[in-house]
Amino acid sequence: MLTAAAAALTMTLPAAADPLAKDVFGAFGSASQGPAVSIGNYSRGCAQGLVQLPETGPTWQAMRLSRGRNWGHPVMIDFLIGLSRAANQAGWQGLYIGDIGQPRGGPTLSGHASHQIGLDADIWMRPPGSLTLSRQQRENISSTSAVASNGLGLSGNWTPQHMSILRAAASDSRVERIFTDPVVKVAMCQMETGNRSWLRKIRPLNNHDYHFHVRLNCPPGSICERQNPIPAGDGCAEAAEWLAIRKNPSLAKPSTPNPNYRHPRTYRLSELPDQCRTVVGAPRRARSCRC
């Protein structure tokens, strides 16, 4: 579906000075045609040929449908359905799946810095109580935090299934890394008595106690920018440092904010990879000739 707003933007793009990318990509209600291709960076890119996660399945429900962010690369959709089955086998009914991305990726109208190339997904920490929620119920229900209110330990919402699901996700070769609260990472480091290799992909990040964020590797045929590799080791000492600083902020090393940082919602269309103009039906920029 091409919304009226998207059609208007597409028609006016040649004459527009340089629209905000979030306004362009946020106006589309359907994916672009062609093979699935993730383009650019997780926080500065777009995607062609994304597919929509069905709103409801035997072991999952997509949440917050009004946002229109249940679109991802086919590899991501396959991963999420498979992980929902693993959650079911672990003892949950399945998974509540939050934001993946917009139909054509790109910067979102609100919220995320990433989730731009169809390879990021948020999975709720709340075990599903029902997989037959209405659209309105999915707007009203909230996830539950796996971290206690003081931020220093696990909450009573934590279950052994949480660890089983995170282990299954991190053990998938398609997964590049997973972000979750430092408390969760530290707890799993303490609980794991067997193979610890999967813990390396679990990366501590604040504000990830109500959901965990899965990021996939760049699939074959895509043109993604490479991220810095995950450091060697299981990362447990690093997570413990995060938690120690939370307990005693004076332990934090002085840092200088990056004066050049801008939230991706401020990006103009011209600041995304040139292929993203094709994804939204805008003409490619003319290249200068070095004759």
Q: Domains in the chain, start-ordered, CATH in brackets?
A: 31-249 (3.30.1380.10)
Bin 235: left if φ > 0, else alpha if -120 < ψ < 50, else beta: left
Q: Which whole-number Å values give the CA distances from 160 to 67, 206, 210, in the listed order? A: 31, 21, 16
Best CA proximity match to 50, nearest among 59, 69, 39, 37:
37
Q: Judge contact between 122 and 179, C-beta under 8 A.
A: no
One-letter amino acid at 222 equals S
Task: Return all residues near 256 (Cβ < 8 A) that are at least 6 apart.
Answer: none
Q: Output the pTM of the full model.
A: 0.91
Classified as helix, coil or strand, 171 is coil
* CA dihedral for 171, 173, 174, 180, sign (positive or negative): positive
| Geometric angle at alpha carbon 152, from 148 and 153, rounded to 5° | 55
Tens digits of pLDDT across the chain (291 residues) = 545 545 445 444 544 579 999 999 999 999 999 999 999 999 999 999 999 999 999 999 999 999 999 999 999 999 999 999 999 999 999 999 999 999 999 999 998 999 999 999 999 999 999 999 999 999 999 999 999 999 999 999 999 999 999 999 999 999 999 999 999 999 999 999 999 999 999 999 999 999 999 999 999 999 999 999 999 999 999 999 999 999 999 999 988 889 989 999 999 999 999 999 999 998 766 554 443
Residue type, 151: G
